[in-house]
Chains A and B, each alone.
Chain A
Amino acid sequence: MSLPKASPPHLRRAFVAVHRLTIVISETERLVADPVPGITAAPHDDNLRYFDVTIQGPDGSPFQQGVFKLELFLPEEYPMAPPKVRFLTKIYHPNIDKLGRICLDILKDKWSPALQIRTVLLSIQALLSAPNPDDPLAPDVAKHYKENEADAHRVSREWTQLYASK
């Protein structure tokens, strides 16, 4: 990997872009070679920074048996900036709002450039096992979860069956 010193700037920029992409590709390769149980992530053919993700609802949670679709996008500044992740499947969860946005610290202020796609997806899976109504993104759901957890679980299960069944 080297370019002649006097290469034109647009080539140079392409070179840098390619280098950044190799980080993305090597991470993608790892995800494919050593998949995380219950999680799949496949990059789009035409945009390697854009991933189709599925996460299986963890056993023992109200999301059990559900398969949730998400989209994950790696911004140009990745890994300096966190990936952008969103649920595409509707889900009744105190930390996930109507638009599928996720309230998870490592996707915001607790992001570290040493974290990887794998870590992020594992954390989201963990969030399904352990909702945190004290740090809500969907206030009405959080309220429901706090006041009558059993009933909130019932709704979560219903939604899972309605929107996330295989």
Chain B
Amino acid sequence: MHFSKVYAQLLQDLPPELAENSFQYRELKKLINQIATELLALGLEPTVLHNLLQSEGKGKGKEKETAPTVFYELDTTSGKIEPRLRLWVEPPTSRVEEVGEFEIEGSSSLSSQVSLSSALQRHPEFLSGLRIGSQVEVVIPLTSDSAFFQLLATSLQTLQAHLVTINAQFVRTLVELTKTVSDSARPASSTSSGFRVLSGLKSDAGGVRVGASSAKSDLNAWREIFALYVETEIFESIHERDRGERSVEEAQNRLRKFADRMTARGLKDGHLMKLKQSQDALDCFLQLNVFILNVKKFELANAEATRKILKKRMKRTALPTTDSNNLNSLSLIPVIDGSLPRILVQELGTTLLPIIPSLEDYQCFICMSLAFKPIRLACGHLFCVRCLVKMQKRGNGDCPMCRSPCVLVANRSNVDWAMLNFMRDWFPEEATVKLKQNEREAAQEQLEELGLPEERCIMM
């Protein structure tokens, strides 16, 4: 299939606001044909031009004087890209025989040399007036090629401007979504009237009542969704094996997998999502991800289209894409580097995801579950009380993270009350589970210390 068809097909699959701003592949193709016609009129069909451009810099010896060497130049002084050919030839005469001197080893046919010669006679303005020895300098402006670059540059500039708009739109939606999610995933202190702030001064009489609205919260559902989302690594891998950005196909598969897993967990229906606004927000969240995927496809398609059209131009006309003297001359053409999807993923990661504290950031590095109750060692590291008690019993005195000897001296005064309240507020279920677990483990250890196997306890 021709790329123009593939490209058109791809754009059809994209949302209209993306597809409308793609660049004019067909128009550019027409211009390539025009360039070819223009060059042909000069006798510069692709094989001829190719050899003329190739001979450049070569043949320092005897051929240098006779072989016309062609330079392709991109003049950008006017702010536009104005391509031209610069070459040195024997002055054009009406006599065909003399023109034979242009001929380059194994390349051109005589007829094309005639064309170049007669073209020069028809266009005396091509002669710059410079003359070295017997040769005159000829400068041929390439008008269709200029139009080609002009259109390409405008297309890409429009595209880039559009990508900026897309980014802004995305951020606006994301900010709205973030508000909705933080409103529906509220911590315990804002939903239950019984939440009391604990402090170390008095064991609980110092409790303070906070915000007594009894609204529902989808905190747990959202936490699970975000954890699942981060784990699925839809757009980027952080693994040793395949670190970096994922392909469109891979991202698409993973996004589908993510949606399937949420359905399987019952996160998309009223089961685990109590609030209507949560369900709407979840839809929006999924749509934003589909949007990122589409932007990824769009950028890829445009990068590919740019590459293809430049390749086609080269093939049909033998004109290079860089100035013979200045390799950076195409700076007027903006480069679509495909970085937008990455930026959008990052925005999502820094705006939306952090509004719900993740368990990973509050886990004890020994037992890998919520560090509850949290004990802050003198060195600053935080662990759950159970793990530290176990370490103390074994006589392990060094902090597991930094090895400073502060485990054995830790006591009640090391409870981090602010952290404890924060954990009860944001991880109410996990904190309760952990507390029960701790009690159970402590009870069992006491039995073991008494030397009573548990089976015998049942008999007693």
Q: Do A and B bind each other?
A: yes
Q: Smallest distance from the beta carbon of A126 to chain B beta carbons, Å?
A: 16
Contact with A along B431-460 (1 / 0, CB 8 A): 001001100110110010000001101100
For B457, list chain A residues within 8 Å (CB): 9
Q: Which residues of A in the span 44-89 have a Cβ within 8 Å of any Cβ on B?
A: 77, 79-81
Most buried by B among A3, A12, A80, A114: A114
Within the complex, the shortest CB–CB distance from A108 to chain B, in Å, comes to 13
Say whether A113 contacts B391, CB under 8 Å: yes
Contact B437 A19 (CB under 8 A): yes
A36 CA to B241 CA, complexed, in Å: 8
In angstroms, how far is the closest chain B Cβ from the Cβ of A28?
Answer: 12
* Bound form: Cα–Cα A22–B114 in Å: 86
The interface size bin for chain B is: 20 to 34
A77 vs B396: C-alpha distance when bound (angstroms): 13
A146–B42 alpha-carbon span in the complex (Å): 79
* Residue of A with least CB distance to B437: A19
Q: Are B368 and A16 in contact (CB under 8 A)?
A: no
Interface residues of B in 369-396 (CB under 8 A from A): 387, 390-391, 394, 396
Of B26-34, B50-58, B301-309, B398-406, the one with at least 4 CB within 8 A of chain A: B398-406
* Residues of chain B contacted by A1 (CB below 8 angstroms): 433, 437
Cβ-Cβ contact count across A and B, 8 Å cutoff: 67
Q: How far is the CB of A48 from chain B (nearest CB, A)?
A: 15
Q: Is A112 a contact partner of B401 (Cβ separation < 8 A)?
A: yes
Complex Cα gap A77–B403 (Å)? 19
Interface status of A147 (Cβ within 8 A of chain B): no
* Interface set, chain B 391-423, CB cutoff 8 A to A: 391, 394, 396, 398, 400-401, 403
A8, A26, A113, A114: residue with the most chain B Cβ atoms closer than 10 Å: A113
User: CB of B366 within 8 A of chain A?
Assistant: yes
B394 touches A80 (CB 8 A): yes
Size of chain A's interface in residues, with CB distance under 8 A? 27
- The chain A residue with its CB closest to the CB of B403 is A112
- What is the chain B residue whose CB lies nearest that of A8? B458
B240 touches A2 (CB 8 A): no
Expressed in whole angstroms, the Cα–Cα distance for A73 and B433 within the complex equals 28
By the criterion CB–CB under 8 Å, are B401 and A13 in contact?
no
Q: Is the CB of A16 within 8 A of B440?
A: yes
Residue B365 interfacial (CB < 8 Å): yes
**B396, A80: Cβ atoms closer than 8 Å:** yes
Complex-state Cα separation, A10 to B458, whole angstroms: 9
The CA of A80 and the CA of B387, in the complex, are separated in Å by 8
Say yes or no: B436 contacts A16, CB within 8 Å: no
Is A150 part of the contact surface with B, judged by Cβ < 8 Å? Answer: no
C-alpha spacing A74/B366, complex, angstroms: 14
A33 interface residue, CB < 8 Å from B?
yes
Besides the contacts A2-B433, A12-B454, A112-B403, what 17 more A-B pairs have beta carbons closer than 8 Å?
A1-B433, A1-B437, A2-B436, A12-B443, A13-B454, A16-B437, A16-B441, A23-B368, A33-B239, A34-B239, A79-B366, A80-B366, A80-B390, A80-B394, A112-B401, A113-B396, A115-B400
User: Please, could you name 17 A-B residue pairs with CB atoms under 8 Å apart, sorted by A?
Assistant: A1-B437, A2-B436, A9-B444, A10-B455, A16-B441, A16-B444, A23-B367, A34-B239, A77-B394, A79-B367, A80-B366, A80-B387, A80-B390, A81-B394, A112-B401, A113-B396, A114-B366
